[in-house]
């Protein structure tokens, strides 16, 4: 079927309320859809509609992403030459700090939960709202306050600690503006906690009649798992960064041995949050892919329950592996061995998901539209990222490649190749729902390809660089590494196009895109039963759920 | 660098048996991971061709009871079991890396923003570059004077963080003479990326010649011995003192009973703590009368003192400490 939404086949096995409300009929401009319900600026900035808040977040994180991406471009530019002639060392250090802090805390961590999560979670469980709509608005204001403050600090003053803020460098030795950056990140943490709280309560209390736990889409499961991590891990980050503030501002010795502290304690506390944080970044991506793959294979998600449990499994084991970032800091041998084997265990639930996606498309009716292309790219890159994670979890390999470009490549494969591609895939998939318009399909496919090729061209050479021994955060590097660095920088140009195109044509489509039907992909799930864009209160009638998730049986019958 | 045009090289030279072992581990692991993932990629490609929407294909699909659980379990457990072999291989090597052999020579490294200082047992010091012999286990104990650094020797596939306030160590046994690179791999501020130098791996004869050419005035232990006298340590710790202080002969590597209960092994970090912060670990049976030497002794002096204490033999042979030193005798079990 083409994305313009003709000919929705009847779904006799569903109750009347759940059939596509107005098959094939565009609903854009119906006076009460959430975009047109009110028009003033105030109606956006002071909204308590979870959908509008989702859109506010979408605009905000795109804004931050652009800054982070510009910094990345400058980093790659400067690494074209080995001896760091383009910037001073200090400028370079500030650039990678800017890049890391913004991308991790103001783009990747909030990306999918605050945009798709806010917009879709209530709709997917058949609710009119999140549990605490005003708190949700407050979360956005807190996020913006913290993030803008830190970003202003990073851009105007500059900070040179790296996103990891290792002590005692960050507390005693750096003479850049570390305190404001910490303050902003701490503030943003509260926004994460409140969002997590809101989602957990929403999932527990707001599900539509008949929406049992095992009828929830996997995306909702992953949002739930992520919210638990937000609630349990973020406070640790808050405390850790507060301790940094105390030491830097008041010389209360916590981490600096000169003041009687212990720098390894900081590493422990930081990674106790930051390893779970990588699952904050990756679980939502898995959720998005688990929606896209069944929709474009028109087939039930293979092993739904396993995938749901794997999400909770990941959210729990992820708290037990932080020590794998510290194998070479003199950590006790027993601890290192335990963290190593637990890290191998984390890979199991991740692998379950990948195999299940593959099994899902077996015997499906596969359409290779843009969201599916992104999903396939995601799976490829995520697999490589995950496996190189296993290499890093192997003790004697980590002794070699720790803190080299190998690690840089590893986490970019997972976070950029993974999360950022899942984000783009989801954005295309739900774009009709968000805006009532279709994006231009050909451009979408081209961008998905560019993103995939450009990504590999940028980051694959970094695995080699790392194994050859190039340390990370190096502005001056030995000349024998130049070739691979130039290759990586050229790849990043392609990658940049892969991001730039969607930004342009998605905006273009707001005005010129084809109008979208309620269910352009013939996908299952409550969000496709309401109009595109949805009315202010999500559904015209309260949905009642009496079907299983990903119930594509009527489609599977086709031969 | 060593071995022709390294500009086009895509694989680093391995200069020790351990480094070769790491490479083998990586290749074997790559092979197994390919076995586990190629099916995914092939499956995805083939399925998306033959089950492409609109293409006639056999799509009849029935879920048999119990079958999908069996499939799920098998693709959870089989890959996990396979990869565990590599966990074990890596852990075994790591274990070896954590236990330097008793005949290792000890070189001390001090990291500071933004340079390395290495000191050989004979007292020869060098900045940023490091000379080591082949065929001889070399143990490097390190400490930082400011922030966290890390000593990284890619040709030996090994690195270790250099922490302020605490000794860490690594060891290796290089076998391929050549010139390689060494780096600081833990970000440490402005000139982090300039905190690098060259690692010269030399045949033992060349190494001895190099040491002789450097012509150090004084071995590390001799310097330590001098400091021991000059700072009044001897006054309390040697025979005939008026203060009741424990003898330090043969202390290194031994368990020391603590006032708070339990014992602590007297390793390098313990000795350093005792000198700079004597109140931290109070010893059972003694009154803590020792003054802190924090701010009095430079990091280099502490390194020399620790080297001296490490070389101090049991009681009566104390005088021979000065002769013992080049091969440090009592490395024992110094693992943290
Ligand atoms: C199969 C699962 C994974 C395993 C076994 C794994 C293992 C590791 C290990 C051992 C390290 C430390 C390397 C070092 O510093 O020497 C590491 C670093 C890292 N990983 Fe993973 N990882 C996995 C998945 C992920 C995921 C899902 C993400 C992100 C979404 C991620 C993001 C990162 C980041 C950001 C770092 C580096 C942080 C830094 O030093 O700045 N990893 N990983
Ligand atoms: Cu981790
Ligand atoms: Cu450094």
- Domain membership of residue A187 (yes or no) is yes
Q: pLDDT tens digit string along A298-308? A: 888 988 998 99
Task: Please give the pLDDT value at position A2.
Answer: 40
pLDDT digits (tens, 9 = 90+) for A232-288: 999 999 999 999 999 999 999 999 988 889 999 999 999 999 999 989 999 999 999
Options 2.60.40.420, 1.10.150.130, 3.10.580.10, 3.30.70.270; CATH for B1-46+100-216 is 2.60.40.420
Q: Which residue has the tokens 């949002």?
A: A223
* Cβ within 8 Å, pair B97-A396: yes
Q: What ligand is nearest to the CA atom of residue A321? A: 2
3-class secondary structure per residue, A478-517 = CHHHHHHHHHHHHHHHHHHHHHHHHHHHHHHHHHHCCECC
Question: Is B220-323 a domain of CATH 1.10.760.10?
Answer: yes
Q: How does pLDDT run across A437-496, given as a tens digit for each residue? A: 999 999 999 999 999 999 999 999 999 999 999 999 999 999 999 999 999 999 999 999
Rounded Cα–Cα distance for residues A71 and A519 (Å): 39
| Position in ligand 1 atom list of the atom nearest CA A327 | 16
pLDDT tens column, A164-180: 999 899 999 999 999 99
CB pairs under 8 A between A and B: 264
Helix, strand, coil percentages, rounded to 5, for chain A = 70, 0, 30
Q: Which of A257, A344, A387 sits opposite B164 (nearest CB)?
A: A257
Give the burial class of A404: count Cβ atoms within 10 A of its Cβ; 0-12 exposed, 13-18 middle, 19 or more buried. Answer: buried
Return the bridge partners of B196, or none: B183
Nearest CA to B218 out of B125, B116, B141, B302 is that of B125
Q: Is the CB of A325 under 6 A from ligand 1?
A: yes
Probe target for ligand 1 pocket from A392, A469, A472, with the most ligand atoms within 8 Å of CB: A392
Sign for the CA dihedral angle at B162, B165, B171, B177 comes to positive
Residues constituting chain B: 336
Distances (CA, A) of A180 to A244, A245, B187: 12, 9, 21
Answer whether A414 contacts ligand 1 (Cβ < 6 A): yes
A109 and A519 Cβ atoms separated by less than 8 Å: no
Asked whether A340 lines ligand 1 (CB < 6 A), one says no
Total residues found in chain A within this entry: 559
Q: Are A526 and A460 in contact (CB under 8 A)?
A: no
What pLDDT score does B330 carry?
36
From A345, A359, A511, A374, select the one nearest A436 (Cα to Cα). Answer: A511
Q: Which of A161, A288, A325 to mutate to test the pocket of ligand 1 (most atoms within 8 A of CB)?
A: A325
The two structure tokens encoding residue B22: 């790491």
- Flag if A559 and B57 touch (Cβ within 8 Å): yes
- Average pLDDT on B12-39 reads 93
* C-beta separation of A409 from A466 below 8 A: yes
- Nearest atom, ligand 1, residue A398 CA: 16
In this complex, do A329 and B33 lie within 8 Å of one another by their Cβ atoms? no
User: Quick one: CA torsion of A320, A325, A330, A335, rounded to 10 degrees?
Assistant: 20
Compute how many other C-beta atoms are within 10 angstroms of the C-beta atom of residue B226. 15
pLDDT confidence band for B8 (50 / 70 / 90): low
Q: Is the pLDDT of residue B318 over 80?
A: no
Q: Rounded distance, CA A175 to CA A111, Å? A: 31
- Name the residue of chain B whose CA is nearest to A556's CA: B59
Asked if the model's pLDDT at residue B192 lies above 70, the reply is yes
**Spans of all domains in chain B:** 1-46+100-216, 220-323
Cβ within 8 Å, pair A380-B41: yes
Residue whose CB lies within 8 A of the most ligand 1 atoms, among A165, A411, A416, for a mutation test: A411
Nearest Cα neighbor of B271 from B289, B295, B254 is B254
- Does the beta carbon of A440 sit less than 6 angstroms from any atom of ligand 1? no
Residues 6 or more apart whose Cβ sits within 8 Å of residue A498:
A447, A448, A449, A450, A451, A452, A454, A455
Ligand 3 centroid to Cα of residue A161, in Å, is: 12
What residue in A sits closest to B44 (Cα-Cα)? A358
Structure tokens at B193: 């990326």
CA of B247 to the centre of ligand 2 (A): 46
Question: How many other CB atoms are there within 10 angstroms of residue B22's CB atom?
Answer: 25
The number of folded domains in chain A is 1
The maximal CA–CA distance of chain B, rounded, in angstroms, is 100
Contact A248, A178 (CB under 8 A): yes
Question: A428: alpha, beta or left, given left = phi > 0 and alpha = psi -120 to 50?
Answer: alpha
Q: Which of B126, B143, B138 is nearest to B197 (CA)?
A: B126
* Residue A352: Cβ-neighbour burial (10 angstroms; 0-12, 13-18, 19+): buried
Residue whose C-alpha is closest to residue B198's, from B163, B153, B136:
B153
Q: Does A329 touch chain B (CB under 8 A)?
A: yes
| pLDDT at site B144 | 94
Q: Sign of the C-alpha dihedral, residues B49, B52, B57, B60?
A: positive
pLDDT score of A11 more than 50: no
pLDDT, residue B314, reads: 66
The whole-number pLDDT of residue A21 equals 45
- Tell me which chain A residue has its CA closest to the CA of residue B95: A333
The top-scoring range by mean pLDDT among A392-396, A519-523, B31-35 is A392-396
Mean pLDDT, rounded, of chain A: 90
Q: What is the pLDDT of residue B178?
A: 93
Q: Which domain holds residue A247?
A: 43-557
Asked if B82 is an interface residue toward chain A (Cβ–Cβ < 8 A), one would say no
When the pLDDT of each residue in chain B is averaged and rounded to a whole number, the result is 84
Q: Is B80 exposed, middle or buried (0-12, 13-18, 19+ CB in 10 A)?
A: middle
- Give the pLDDT band (50/70/90) at residue B73: confident
pLDDT for B58 beyond 80: no
Q: For position B320, what pLDDT does the model report?
A: 40
Parallel, antiparallel, or unpaired for β B125-127 and B115-119? antiparallel
Reported ipTM: the value is 0.88
End-to-end C-alpha distance for chain B, whole angstroms: 35
Ligand closest to Cα of A99 equals: 1
- Same fold for the domain at B1-46+100-216 and the one at B220-323? no
How many Å lie between the centroid of ligand 1 and the Cα of residue A552? 36
Q: How far apart are CA A58 and CA A277, in angstroms?
A: 20
Alpha helices in B180-265 (DSSP H): 204-214, 220-230, 233-237
Q: Would you tell me which residues 196-255 of chain A have a C-beta closer than 8 angstroms to some C-beta of chain B?
A: none
Identify the band that residue A296 occupies on the pLDDT scale cut at 50, 70 and 90: very high
Q: Which ligand is nearest to the CA of A342?
A: 1
Residue A495 Cβ < 6 Å to ligand 1: no
CB A526 within 8 A of CB A124: yes
What DSSP designation does A328 have? T
CB atoms within 10 A of CB B241: 12
Residue of A397, A464, A559 to mutate, interface with B, max B Cβ within 10 Å:
A397
Strands B263-265 and B105-112: unpaired
> B 258-297 residues with CB below 8 A of A?
none
């Amino acid at each position: 079927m083409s994305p313009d939404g003709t000919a929705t086949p009847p779904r006799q096995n569903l109750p009347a309320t759940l059939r596509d409300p107005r098959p094939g009929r565009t609903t854009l401009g119906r006076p009460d859809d959430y975009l047109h319900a009110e028009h003033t600026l105030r109606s956006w900035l002071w909204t308590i509609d979870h959908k509008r808040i989702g859109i506010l977040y979408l605009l905000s994180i795109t804004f931050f992403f652009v800054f982070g991406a510009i910094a990345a471009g400058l980093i790659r530019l400067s690494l074209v030459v080995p001896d760091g002639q383009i910037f001073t060392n200090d400028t370079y250090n500030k650039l990678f700090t800017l890049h890391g802090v913004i991308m991790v805390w103001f783009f990747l961590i909030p990306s999918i939960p605050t945009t798709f999560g806010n917009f879709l979670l209530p709709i997917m469980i058949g609710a009119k709202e999140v549990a605490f709509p005003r708190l949700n608005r407050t979360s956005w204001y807190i996020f913006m306050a913290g993030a803008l403050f830190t970003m202003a600090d990073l851009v105007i003053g500059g900070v040179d600690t790296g996103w990891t803020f290792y002590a005692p460098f960050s507390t005693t030795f750096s003479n850049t503006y570390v305190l404001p950056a910490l303050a902003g990140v701490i503030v943003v943490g509260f926004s994460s906690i409140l969002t997590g709280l809101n989602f957990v309560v929403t999932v527990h209390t707001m599900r539509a009649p008949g929406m049992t736990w095992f009828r929830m889409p996997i995306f909702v499961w992953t949002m739930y798992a992520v919210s638990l991590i937000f609630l349990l891990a973020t406070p640790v980050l808050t405390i850790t960064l507060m301790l940094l503030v105390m030491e830097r501002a008041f010389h209360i010795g916590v981490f600096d041995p000169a003041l009687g502290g212990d720098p390894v304690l900081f590493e422990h506390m930081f990674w106790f949050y930051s390893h779970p944080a990588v699952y904050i970044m990756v679980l939502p991506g898995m959720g998005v892919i688990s929606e896209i793959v069944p929709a474009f294979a028109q087939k039930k998600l293979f092993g739904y329950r396993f995938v749901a449990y794997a999400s909770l499994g990941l959210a729990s084991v992820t708290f037990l592996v932080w020590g794998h970032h510290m194998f070479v800091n003199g950590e006790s041998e027993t601890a290192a061995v335990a963290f190593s084997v637990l890290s191998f265990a984390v890979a199991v639930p991740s692998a379950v998901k990948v195999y299940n996606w593959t099994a899902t498309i077996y015997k499906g009716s596969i359409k290779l539209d843009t969201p599916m292309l992104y999903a396939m790219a995601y799976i490829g890159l995520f697999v490589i990222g995950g496996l190189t994670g296993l290499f890093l979890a192997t003790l004697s390999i980590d002794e070699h490649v720790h803190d080299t470009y190998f690690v840089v490549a590893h986490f970019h494969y997972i976070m950029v190749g993974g999360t950022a591609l899942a984000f783009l895939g989801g954005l295309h998939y739900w774009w009709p729902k968000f805006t009532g318009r279709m994006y231009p399909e050909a451009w979408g496919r081209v961008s998905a390809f560019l993103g995939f090729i450009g990504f590999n061209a940028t980051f694959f050479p970094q695995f080699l660089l790392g194994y050859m021994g190039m340390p990370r955060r190096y502005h001056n590097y030995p000349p024998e590494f130049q070739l691979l660095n130039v290759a990586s920088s050229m790849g990043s140009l392609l990658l940049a196009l892969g991001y730039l195109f969607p930004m342009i044509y998605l905006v273009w489509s707001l005005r010129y895109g084809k109008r979208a039907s309620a269910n352009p992909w013939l996908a299952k799930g409550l969000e496709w039963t309401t109009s595109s864009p949805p009315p202010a209160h999500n559904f015209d009638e309260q949905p009642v759920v009496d079907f299983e998730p990903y119930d594509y049986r009527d489609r599977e019958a086709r031969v | 660098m060593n071995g022709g045009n390294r500009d086009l090289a895509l694989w680093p030279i391995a200069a020790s048996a351990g480094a070769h072992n790491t490479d083998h581990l990586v290749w074997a692991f790559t092979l197994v991971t390919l076995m586990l993932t190629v099916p995914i990629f092939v499956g995805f490609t083939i399925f998306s061709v033959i089950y492409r929407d609109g293409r006639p294909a056999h799509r009849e699909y029935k879920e048999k009871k119990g079958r999908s659980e069996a499939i799920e379990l098998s693709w959870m457990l089989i890959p996990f079991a396979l990869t565990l072999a590599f966990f074990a291989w890596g852990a075994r090597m790591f274990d070896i890396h954590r236990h330097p052999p008793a005949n290792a020579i000890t070189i001390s490294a001090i990291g500071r923003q933004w340079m390395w200082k290495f000191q050989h047992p004979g007292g020869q010091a060098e900045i940023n570059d490091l000379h080591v012999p082949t065929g001889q286990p070399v143990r490097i104990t390190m400490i930082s004077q400011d922030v966290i650094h890390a000593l990284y020797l890619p040709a030996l596939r090994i690195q270790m963080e250099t922490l302020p306030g605490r000794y860490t160590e690594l060891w290796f046994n290089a076998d391929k003479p050549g010139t390689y690179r060494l780096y600081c791999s833990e970000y440490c501020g402005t000139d982090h990326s300039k905190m690098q130098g060259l690692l010269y791996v030399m045949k033992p004869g060349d190494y001895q010649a190099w040491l002789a050419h450097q012509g150090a005035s004084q071995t590390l232990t001799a310097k330590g011995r001098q400091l021991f006298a000059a700072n009044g340590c001897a006054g309390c710790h040697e025979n005939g003192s008026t203060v009741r202080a424990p003898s330090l002969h043969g202390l290194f590597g031994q368990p020391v009973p603590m006032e708070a209960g339990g014992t602590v092994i007297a390793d390098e970090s313990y000795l350093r703590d005792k000198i700079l912060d004597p109140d931290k670990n109070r010893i059972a049976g003694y009154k803590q009368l020792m003054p802190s030497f924090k701010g009095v002794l430079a990091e280099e002096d502490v390194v020399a003192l620790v080297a001296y204490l490490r070389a101090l033999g049991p009681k009566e042979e104390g005088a021979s400490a000065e002769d013992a030193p080049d091969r440090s005798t009592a490395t024992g079990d110094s693992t943290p």
